[in-house]
Amino acid sequence: MADDRRDELEAILKLQRDAFTASRPETLGMRKDRIKRAMALLKDHGENLCKAMSADFGNRAMEQSMLTDISGTVGAGKHTLKHIDKWAKPEKRSVQFPLNLLGAKAEIRYEPKGVIGILSPWNFPVNLAFAPLMQVLGAGNRAMIKPSEFTERTSALMAELVEEYFTRDEVAVITGGPEVAQAFSSLPFDHLVFTGSTATGRKVMQAAAENLVPVTLELGGKSPVIMGRSADFAKAGERIALGKMMNAGQICLAPDYMVVPDDKEAEAIAGVSEGVANMYPKLLENDDYASIVSDRHFERLQSLVEDARDKGAEVIEVNPGNEDFANANQRKMPLTILRHVNDEMEAMQEEIFGPVLPVKTYRAIDEAVDYVNENDRPLGLYYFGEDTDEQDRVLNRTISGGVTTNDVIFHVSMDDLPFGGVGPSGMGSYHAIEGFKEFSHARSVYHQPKIDIAKLGGFKPPYGKATRKAAANMM
Ligand code: NAD
């Protein structure tokens, strides 16, 4: 990367950190004002941002973008505004005997960290830049955002709008490709939030480690759907279809594969297929159905299917309108269900991130649990069924970032639940109070009383009887 780009990044970081330091302490009113400006930016320019996202994807429904990227993100701002006074209050902590009787006091103050870097992906390009921003600002920080190069028009528009609504020392958007992203991740931020793939997350954490920059990693993975025998397969199928078809499966929490009872496989596949047909009677001639973001991503998905076919999978295309995808030239792909899958297939090794749905079968529910446990800890896990003992068994014996039962994805939309992964699907979380705390420094403050505690406690040399007594008491 040209040195002048690196100089530019370093200069913005310095500008923001200097402004941050000079303006402390800032009022909560100032933080609220910044959140309100971020919300106003989204409200005033939502339609243009949705148009840019559709142009970047090839096609993406305005209504979908409005829901997922604009109103959902304004909602994150509203939630932060509503709770910020309570979240930001210092927290009294107890002081142990006998210091409590002598007037000592202890508290935690949630203080801003400084300048926080936000590195975001293309799949929800506005949401995944601005939703963390709301909490970053709520915690009193400044922010530098580097959005994805795959959604170029959206990134350019975000840069332009941020310049209009914020001063450069408050929030700045930096556009550019992987080299800029790499330089960005190596800046000595006070914290870095990365949303993207596990592979890139590993590089980002390595780069951040050079400067001991703490990271929040919001990564991906293979989120399983475990269907119990007691599931309502028609209803479950429709919900899985909705979660898998929205944004054409390009969602970090999209159901990646299903594990179903062997005698219910046909019913489970029929449920999902009918769900798709009900919501999308046509796919090509249907603006509600998104395109795959780029030729490269489209080819990767095609090759996952071919690889599975070559290795013995049965491939079922769910094409309700009998449309000709081969000659469509639109980067649209029908839901493609894979039966008889095994671990040799790439579709069972990497995150799918598109409309391909492998189906595995089990005889006893523990086989499904064991399979999840043998693989990387997923971002989301979904259980369908009415058998609460079985549900407990699945939840108590697996580990995942989050869980939705009897549906998919929905846990991310609960304002008061933290969102994040575990192990290879991420670390740290945001949303809810956990997000505010993630972007704050929990500063321990202890107030010593007037009385000479050190002497009383036997800490003061010359050591003697009082010291020995204190040591014995502590045990
Ligand atoms: P990606 O990892 O390819 O890119 C994400 C960001 O990283 C982009 O801004 C890119 O410019 C930057 N980047 C690329 N190379 C880099 C490098 N060497 N060093 C530093 N930064 C670099 O991810 P993507 O393809 O944009 O997004 C899809 C992935 O994101 C999927 O794995 C998905 O599961 C995950 N995701 C996770 C969440 C979540 O909240 N957990 C949300 C959405 C997407």
Q: What local confidence, expressed as pLDDT, does residue 192 receive? A: 98
Give a yes or no: residue 452 inside a domain.
no
Give a yes or no: residue 19 inside a domain.
yes
Give a yes or no: residue 401 inside a domain.
yes
Same domain for 215 and 355, yes or no, is: no
Same domain for 195 and 238, yes or no, is: no
Q: What local confidence, expressed as pLDDT, does residue 1 receive? A: 60
Q: What's the mean pLDDT in 252-271?
A: 98
| 5, 347, 399 from 8: Cα distances, Å | 5, 41, 42
Same domain for 389 and 267, yes or no, is: yes
Residue 475: band (very low, low, confident or very high) from pLDDT cuts 50, 70, 90? confident
462 prior amide bond cis, ω within 30: yes
Same domain for 17 and 54, yes or no, is: yes
Task: Decide if pLDDT at 229 tops 90.
Answer: yes
DSSP 8-state code for residue 410: G
* Cα 173 to Cα 183: distance, rounded to the nearest angstrom: 14
Phi then psi dihedrals of residue 281, to 5 deg: -55, -30
Q: Kindly report the CA angle at 319 between 303 and 260, in degrees rounded to 5?
A: 75
Same domain for 129 and 144, yes or no, is: yes
Q: Which of 5, 252, 430 to mutate to test the pocket of ligand 1 (most atoms within 8 A of CB)?
A: 252
Q: What local confidence, expressed as pLDDT, does residue 457 receive? A: 84
Which positions are annotated as active-site residues?
218, 252
The 10 Å Cβ neighbour count of residue 474 is 7
* Cα 64 to Cα 421: distance, rounded to the nearest angstrom: 25
Q: How far is the CA of 27 from the centre of ligand 1 (A)?
A: 34
* Cα 387 to Cα 265: distance, rounded to the nearest angstrom: 18
Choice between 475 and 204, residue whose per-residue pLDDT is larger: 204
Q: How far is the CA of 397 from the centre of ligand 1 (A)?
A: 29
CA atoms within 13 A on the CB side of 53: 28
- Indicate if ligand 1 lies below 6 Å from the C-beta of 195: yes
Same domain for 207 and 340, yes or no, is: no
Same domain for 193 and 267, yes or no, is: no
Same domain for 106 and 13, yes or no, is: yes
Task: Decide if pLDDT at 2 tops 70.
Answer: no
The owner of tokens 């590993």 is 202
* Cα 83 to Cα 98: distance, rounded to the nearest angstrom: 35
Can you tell me which atom of ligand 1 is nearest the CA of 420? 41
* Cα 174 to Cα 16: distance, rounded to the nearest angstrom: 14
Write the Ramachandran bin of 114: left for phi over 0, alpha for psi from -120 to 50, otherwise beta. Answer: left
Give a yes or no: residue 88 inside a domain.
yes
Same domain for 15 and 127, yes or no, is: yes
Percent of the chain with pLDDT over 70: 100
* Cα 428 to Cα 222: distance, rounded to the nearest angstrom: 19
* Contact assessment for residue 269 and residue 316, using Cβ atoms and an 8 Å cutoff: yes
Can you tell me which atom of ligand 1 is nearest the CA of 253? 34
Phi then psi dihedrals of residue 243, to 5 deg: -70, -30
Number of domains present in the structure of the chain: 2
Q: How far is the CA of 173 from the centre of ligand 1 (A)?
A: 16
* Contact assessment for residue 427 and residue 420, using Cβ atoms and an 8 Å cutoff: yes
For 266, the domain range is 224-420
Residue 473: band (very low, low, confident or very high) from pLDDT cuts 50, 70, 90? confident
CATH number at residue 255: 3.40.309.10
Task: Decide if pLDDT at 125 tops 70.
Answer: yes
Give a yes or no: residue 80 inside a domain.
yes
Q: What local confidence, expressed as pLDDT, does residue 130 receive? A: 98
Calculate the average pLDDT of the chain. 97
Q: How far is the CA of 305 from the centre of ligand 1 (A)?
A: 23
* Contact assessment for residue 408 and residue 382, using Cβ atoms and an 8 Å cutoff: yes
Q: What's the mean pLDDT in 426-434?
A: 97
β 314-318/171-173 pair status = unpaired
Instruction: Cite the beta strand spans of 45-119 per DSSP E.
Output: 91-93, 105-112, 115-119
Q: How far is the CA of 252 from the centre of ligand 1 (A)?
A: 10
Looking at ligand 1, which residue's alpha carbon is closest to its atom 6? 121
DSSP letters for 249-261:
G--TTS--EEEEE
CATH number at residue 120: 3.40.605.10
Give a yes or no: residue 167 inside a domain.
yes
- In a 3-state reduction of DSSP, which class is residue 173? strand
Q: What's the mean pLDDT in 356-376?
A: 98
CA atoms within 13 A on the CB side of 459: 6
Q: How far is the CA of 318 from the centre of ligand 1 (A)?
A: 29
- Indicate if ligand 1 lies below 6 Å from the C-beta of 120: yes
Instruction: Please return the burial class of 36, using the count of CB atoms within 10 Å of its CB with bins 0-12, 13-18 and 19+.
Output: middle
Q: What local confidence, expressed as pLDDT, does residue 3 receive? A: 78
DSSP letters for 180-232:
HHHHHHTS--SEEEEES-HHHHHHHHHHHHHTT--EEEE-----EEEE-TTS-
- Indicate if ligand 1 lies below 6 Å from the C-beta of 264: no
* Cα 20 to Cα 17: distance, rounded to the nearest angstrom: 5
Give a yes or no: residue 433 inside a domain.
yes
DSSP letters for 262-308:
GGGHHHHHHHHHHHHHHH-S-STT-TTSPPPS-HHHHHHHHHHHHHH
Q: What local confidence, expressed as pLDDT, does residue 225 receive? A: 98
Q: Which of 57, 200, 247 to mutate to test the pocket of ligand 1 (most atoms within 8 A of CB)?
A: 200
Q: What's the mean pLDDT in 147-154?
A: 97
DSSP letters for 118-159:
EE--SSSTTHHHHHHHHHHHHTT-EEEEE--SSSHHHHHHHH
- Indicate if ligand 1 lies below 6 Å from the C-beta of 68: no
- In a 3-state reduction of DSSP, which class is residue 358? strand
Same domain for 143 and 278, yes or no, is: no
Give a yes or no: residue 356 inside a domain.
yes
Q: What's the mean pLDDT in 311-322?
A: 97
Looking at ligand 1, which residue's alpha carbon is closest to its atom 35? 196
* Cα 50 to Cα 46: distance, rounded to the nearest angstrom: 6
Give the model confidence (pLDDT) of 83-118 as tens digits. 999 999 999 999 998 899 999 999 999 999 999 999
- Indicate if ligand 1 lies below 6 Å from the C-beta of 46: no
* Contact assessment for residue 89 and residue 418, using Cβ atoms and an 8 Å cutoff: no
H/E segment holding residue 171: strand 171-173
Q: What local confidence, expressed as pLDDT, does residue 7 receive? A: 95
Residue 327: band (very low, low, confident or very high) from pLDDT cuts 50, 70, 90? confident
For the CA atoms of 356, 361, 366, 368, the dihedral, rounded to the nearest 10 degrees, stands at -10
Looking at ligand 1, which residue's alpha carbon is closest to its atom 12? 181
Same domain for 254 and 346, yes or no, is: yes
β 314-318/335-339 pair status = antiparallel
Same domain for 314 and 172, yes or no, is: no
> Does the reported pTM lie above 0.85?
yes
**Which range is most confident: 98-102, 201-205, 466-470?**
201-205
